Chains A and B, each alone.
Chain A
Amino acid sequence: MRFLNLYMPFGILEVKTVFQYNAWFWVEMLRSIIAMLIMTAFWKAIYADQSSIEGLTLTVTLNYVILARALGNANASSVFWWVASHISKGELELQLLRPVDFQLMHLFRDATGWAMNLVRSMPALLIAILFFEAKLPSDPLAYLAFLITFVLGGIVLFFLEFMFGCLGFYTTEVWGLGILREGIALFFSGALIPLNLMPEAIRAFASLTPFAQALYVPISFLSGVQSPSQLGNAILTQVCSIIVLGVLSRMLFTRAARVLTVQGG
């Protein structure tokens, strides 16, 4: 008994460590499955009496919402939360002193993250294909269109997130700001429904937002909502967005860095 009391904790520690890392993986899996179950049930019910809505069939719509759930956040930017956490810890000024371009440094950090996210979303994607009737395209051009718009869209979003981060320089408290941004993104990105199903005016506006550039555009190519022939237009819009937001975020950053309030610093 004494022996057990003495050595059991070591065994339990191992269990705890393994569990800690795996638990998040499984819970994310479960959340994906729940979301997919709801989406499938909901859309099947919606399509019960019609074969096509706004030109989209049940298969394409389901494909879109499920792929958006599995891959939609893969090119998200973490720069906002990074700035937020460094502001609240009062460590941001050290980072600003580094002899590298602050913005480029983060863009590279994020881009590496996108690749890792794509790999990490594979299990969810696999579940989507195996159990939820998600279908990947057979046309190789669709994959190419997805990849190009995925990266360009990620850069568009990065510049916007960067500007949100700069706002944190002013308000010093950024948690609420972050959730606010998430709500806006959810609204306009096409994360919940394909933009095609939105009312015309909102759709026109939403499709120009960085959120849709980063999510709707690549996912619509991969799910078959858009055909690869529309790739040219999509790239043009994304490149223009990158130029405009890039310049704007540069300007905002130079101004914001001057007013930065460091907590406890």
Chain B
Amino acid sequence: MQRKGKRGKRKMTEGKADFSLFSFLFPLRRYLELYALFFVQRLKIFLEYRISFLIGASSTFVVQAAGLFSIWAIMRIVPNVVGWSFDQVLLLYGMVTLARSFEHMFADNLWTLGRHHIRDGSFDRFLVRPINPLFHLFADRFNHDGIGNFIIGLVVVIRSSLALQIEWNLEKVVCMVLAALGGGLIFIALNLITCVSAFWIIDSTPITLGVHEWHEFARYPLSMYSSNIKNALTFIIPYGLVSYYPALFVLGRDSSFLAFASPFMGVGLMLLGYALWNVGLRRYGSTGS
């Protein structure tokens, strides 16, 4: 790559030069327009493979339904797990699914960064264009499979909160919205932090999966687990902030500040992930082939 002429080299660095932390945020309008362009391109692919699109979006639906059905089958007999009713557990489940759907829809490319882009050198494509490479990676592939997760998460949250007859007020609504958006950020950020390892070890999927898998804990009340696991899910791999603490607040069981912590944690982890990403980018030397 470096042997290319002066022009080529300058182009490379233009894409790569945006290393300052907030460069991601400033040209917001341009990036939104660009995202729309990428999105339309993806849409054309979906229209080309319509059946596949429908099956893909509904397939996540079926997998989630299987999990929910199992919980229902048990809790129809025993309606109480560490003091949580079926509808309350459902609320946790829905909140995790909803937050996860943002990562699934908007940041799915992180999963295969190493396998599909770094290994064969096609990651160069993200560097030679005059936009932020990370943005490019996100925008390159909107994953429609995540829509199924989004819908089922939303439906489950609404259904359970109706069944629980939650008395909504502004605080609770804000808490829920922040939990979903901040939770989405936590999901994306943890995947970003782990996927950066692809710059060193090429296939980062096992590492990402190893951390991602912890979100399974957050589908149930954290009080079910030992205090070590509970603390880990609150402070280290903070998926607990996505569901458990906001749910405690919305259900009126507890009003800890942790209920509102997910956006802060999300943004913090994103910044950390972005810093690591930039370290990785500097290390990236293409495949040389």
Contacts and interface: CB of A to CB of B under 8 A. Distances in A.
Query: Size band of the A side of the interface?
Result: 35 or more
A177 B217 CA distance: 28
Interface string B67-86: 10110011011101110000
Given A175-B52, A179-B56, A31 B209 contact: yes
A199 interface: yes
B216 A38 contact: yes
Interface stretch (B200-208, B253-261, B273-281): B200-208
B73 A199 contact: yes
B63 interface: yes
B73 A34 contact: no
A49 B213 CA distance: 30
A30 interface: yes
B59 interface: yes
Contacts of A30: 210, 213
Interface of A: 16, 19-20, 23-24, 26-27, 30-31, 34-35, 37-38, 41-42, 45-50, 53-54, 171, 173, 175-177, 179-180, 182-184, 186-187, 192-193, 197-199, 202
Nearest to A183: B62
B110 to A, nearest CB: 16
Given A23-B203, A23-B207, A35-B216, A54 B65 contact: no
Contact of A180 (B62, B207, B210, B225): B62
A8 B55 CA distance: 48
A53 to B, nearest CB: 6
Contacts of B80: 49
Interface of B: 49, 51-52, 54-56, 58-67, 69-70, 73-74, 76-78, 80-82, 145, 201-203, 206-207, 209-210, 213-214, 216-217, 220, 224-226, 229
B191 to A, nearest CB: 14
Nearest to A27: B206
Can you list the 5 inter-chain pairs with the closest CB atoms, starting with the nearest?
A183-B62, A176-B55, A179-B59, A186-B66, A173-B52
Nearest to A61: B74
A230 B266 CA distance: 53
24 contacts: A24-B206, A27-B206, A30-B213, A31-B209, A34-B213, A34-B214, A37-B225, A38-B220, A41-B224, A41-B225, A42-B81, A42-B220, A45-B224, A47-B78, A50-B78, A173-B55, A176-B52, A179-B60, A179-B62, A180-B58, A180-B59, A182-B59, A187-B62, A198-B73
A34 B60 contact: no
Contacts of A38: 216-217, 220
A53 B78 contact: yes
B13 to A, nearest CB: 23
A53 B73 CA distance: 12
Contact of A192 (B51, B67, B207, B214): B67
Contacts of A177: 55, 59
Contacts of A19: 201
A199 B33 CA distance: 51
Given A34-B214, A42-B81, A192-B66, A199 B51 contact: no
Given A31-B210, A34-B214, 12 more contacts: A23-B206, A38-B217, A41-B220, A45-B81, A176-B56, A176-B145, A177-B59, A182-B63, A183-B59, A183-B66, A193-B70, A199-B73
A24 B73 CA distance: 33
A192 B65 contact: no
Contacts of B226: 41
Contacts of B52: 171, 173, 175-176
Given A197-B73, A197-B74, A26 B206 contact: yes
Among B74, B77, B207, the most chain A Cβ lie within 10 Å of the Cβ of: B74
A173 B56 CA distance: 10
Among A45, A175, A176, the most chain B Cβ lie within 10 Å of the Cβ of: A176
B210 to A, nearest CB: 5
A34 B58 CA distance: 27
Contacts of B145: 176, 179
Contacts of B78: 46-47, 49-50, 53
A26 B211 CA distance: 12
Contacts of B49: 173
Contacts of B61: 183
A46 to B, nearest CB: 5
A62 B121 CA distance: 47
Contacts of B56: 175-176, 179
A180 to B, nearest CB: 4
A198 B226 CA distance: 28
A31 B52 CA distance: 29
A26 to B, nearest CB: 7
Nearest to B76: A199
Nearest to B81: A45
A20 B207 CA distance: 11
A16 B202 contact: yes
